[in-house]
Amino acid sequence: MKTVKTIMLVFGFLCCQLMTAQKSTETIKEELSFSSNSSDNMLVVQNVNGPISVEGYDGTSVKIEVEKTISARNQDSLEEGKQDIEVRVEEVGARIYVYLESPWNNFNTAIGRYENHKNNGRWEQPKYQYYLDFKLKVPKSTNVSLATMNDGDIYAKDVQGDEIIVNNLNGAITLENVAGKTDVNALNRDINISYYKNPTEDSKYNSLNGDINVTFKKNLNADVSFKSLNGDMYTNYDTTTLKPELIKTKTKKGKGVKYNMSSNQSYRIGNGGIKLDFNLLNGDATLKK
């Protein structure tokens, strides 16, 4: 009976906590255009807690929609969070920056990264939680740089500029029907990419604890380097190397690829040319057409 009473007391305490929790959701919308029609135009989106989704389209403006959610245990803390957490939009040269601004995360457009603030040498924990969900549309030919840290994946579709840079600390990265020089880094989740056209400049693909799956076009000409501690590389492209014994016929189930490549080696696809660098620790890399 004591156990039952204890469970009931704990359940009652949790219910009280839920009943007293406060939550606010606000949708922020803005639309603007680059000052000039330049191939250097880049959209930079910087988030901390929450996902980012970007879609390329045939229009000329950047359409921004951000859903801001603040939650706290009391109304005072909720109001504090609503005031503290802001979404800033700023144009600097050929770049449009869309980013979170808070007392703890100050984004410096001059250096392109956050400068965290300390209070008396210590990190200060806010009395509320915040979550920002970024959804944007951008002219297809725009370069993009996207980054978030927690509680969200990054997704980009039909973005076909000259360069695409994506960093995600604790979420996945999915790039669909994209183009351009590519630099992607996911720490703990998978990276999945499909190209509208193959990159024409050196590109980098990095993951610590996830797989990297990339679908190129058939006419790929590249020199591929692959480094991994605990993973393998698979491809259905014909490859050449100075050491043919490093290429093994081994099918990876569900991937439709048959060549297994040894790690810490370089391989040539087609006539070679651009460098594609794959760096992993615990995951596999798959290149296919």
Chain segment 140-163, per-residue pLDDT in tens: 999 999 999 999 999 999 999 999
For residue 183, tell me if it sits in a domain. no
The answer to whether residue 42 is domain-embedded is yes
Q: Which domain holds residue 287?
A: 198-289
Residue 181 lies in a domain: no
Total domain count for the chain? 2
> Is residue 232 included in any domain, yes or no?
yes
> Where does the pLDDT of residue 13 fall: very low under 50, low under 70, confident under 90, or very high at 90 and above?
very low
Do both 149 and 34 map to the same domain?
yes
> Do 203 and 163 lie in a common domain?
no
> Two tokens at 120?
């008396």
Q: Are residues 79 and 150 in the same domain?
A: yes
Q: Are 233 and 260 in contact (CB under 8 A)?
A: yes
Mean pLDDT of 188-197: 96
Say which residue the tokens 């007293």 belong to: 20
Asked if residue 9 is part of any domain, the answer here is no
In a domain, 111, yes or no: yes
pTM given for the model:
0.86
| CA-closest candidate to residue 166, choices 151, 152, 155 | 155
Q: Which helix (H) or strand (E) holds 47?
A: none
Please count the other Cβ atoms lying within 10 Å of the Cβ belonging to residue 144: 24
Rounded distance, CA 232 to CA 141, Å? Answer: 34
In this structure, the answer to whether residues 60 and 160 fall within a common structural domain is yes
**Pick from 50-54, 159-163, 222-226, 261-265: least confident:** 261-265
Q: How confident is the model at residue 118 (pLDDT cuts 50, 70, 90)?
A: low
pLDDT at 4 over 70: no
Q: Per the domain annotation, does 256 fall within a domain? A: yes
